[in-house]
Protein backbone atom coordinates (compact mmCIF):
# COMPACT_ATOMS: atom_id res chain seq x y z
CA UNK A 1 0.00 0.00 0.00
CA UNK A 2 1.37 3.38 -1.00
CA UNK A 3 1.19 5.96 1.80
CA UNK A 4 1.69 9.49 0.55
CA UNK A 5 1.82 12.78 2.43
CA UNK A 6 1.18 16.19 0.92
CA UNK A 7 3.86 18.69 1.91
CA UNK A 8 2.82 20.78 4.87
CA UNK A 9 0.46 18.16 6.35
CA UNK A 10 -0.40 18.70 10.00
CA UNK A 11 -2.39 16.07 11.88
CA UNK A 12 -3.03 15.69 15.61
CA UNK A 13 -4.88 12.89 17.39
CA UNK A 14 -6.17 13.36 20.92
CA UNK A 15 -7.92 10.79 23.09
CA UNK A 16 -9.83 12.44 25.92
CA UNK A 17 -12.65 10.88 27.96
CA UNK A 18 -13.27 8.04 25.49
CA UNK A 19 -13.39 10.48 22.55
CA UNK A 20 -10.90 10.45 19.71
CA UNK A 21 -10.42 13.80 18.01
CA UNK A 22 -8.49 14.04 14.73
CA UNK A 23 -7.49 17.63 13.90
CA UNK A 24 -5.80 18.42 10.60
CA UNK A 25 -5.10 21.22 8.18
CA UNK A 26 -6.19 21.03 4.52
CA UNK A 27 -3.07 19.15 3.43
CA UNK A 28 -3.44 16.70 6.30
CA UNK A 29 -7.08 16.01 5.48
CA UNK A 30 -6.29 15.46 1.80
CA UNK A 31 -3.44 13.12 2.77
CA UNK A 32 -5.73 11.13 5.06
CA UNK A 33 -8.39 10.94 2.35
CA UNK A 34 -5.88 9.45 -0.09
CA UNK A 35 -4.58 7.00 2.49
CA UNK A 36 -8.08 5.86 3.45
CA UNK A 37 -8.88 5.34 -0.23
CA UNK A 38 -5.75 3.20 -0.60
CA UNK A 39 -6.74 1.24 2.49
CA UNK A 40 -10.26 0.70 1.13
CA UNK A 41 -8.75 -0.72 -2.06
CA UNK A 42 -6.47 -3.05 -0.11
CA UNK A 43 -7.21 -6.41 1.47
CA UNK A 44 -8.48 -7.69 4.82
CA UNK A 45 -5.90 -6.99 7.52
CA UNK A 46 -4.23 -4.06 5.79
CA UNK A 47 -3.71 -1.24 8.24
CA UNK A 48 -2.10 2.14 8.68
CA UNK A 49 -0.34 2.99 11.93
CA UNK A 50 -0.05 6.67 12.81
CA UNK A 51 2.01 8.04 15.70
CA UNK A 52 4.11 11.07 16.55
CA UNK A 53 7.29 9.33 15.37
CA UNK A 54 6.16 8.81 11.78
CA UNK A 55 3.31 11.12 10.85
CA UNK A 56 1.45 12.89 13.66
CA UNK A 57 2.29 16.03 15.59
CA UNK A 58 4.20 15.69 18.85
CA UNK A 59 1.97 14.71 21.78
CA UNK A 60 -0.58 12.94 19.58
CA UNK A 61 -2.14 9.66 20.60
CA UNK A 62 -1.38 6.62 18.45
CA UNK A 63 -3.99 5.70 15.86
CA UNK A 64 -4.37 2.48 13.86
CA UNK A 65 -6.91 2.17 11.07
CA UNK A 66 -7.50 -1.36 9.78
CA UNK A 67 -9.50 -2.82 6.90
CA UNK A 68 -11.66 -5.65 8.25
CA UNK A 69 -13.56 -7.07 5.24
Asked if residues 64 and 35 have their Cβ atoms less than 8 Å apart, the reply is no
Instruction: Give the chain's count of helices (H) and strands (E).
Output: 1, 4
DSSP for 48-68, please give it: EEE-TTTTSPTTPPPEEEE--
Q: What is the pLDDT of residue 65?
A: 96
pLDDT in tens, 47-58: 999 999 989 999
Q: Which residues on neighbouring strands pair with residue 13, listed in sequence order? A: 22
Q: What is the pLDDT of residue 23?
A: 97
Is residue 1 predicted with pLDDT exceeding 80? no
Tell me the whole-structure pTM to 2 decimals.
0.86
pLDDT in tens, 3-20: 899 999 999 999 988 999
Q: What is the pLDDT of residue 27?
A: 97
Amino acid sequence: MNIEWIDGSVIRVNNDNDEVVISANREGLLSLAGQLTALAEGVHGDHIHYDENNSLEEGSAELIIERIE
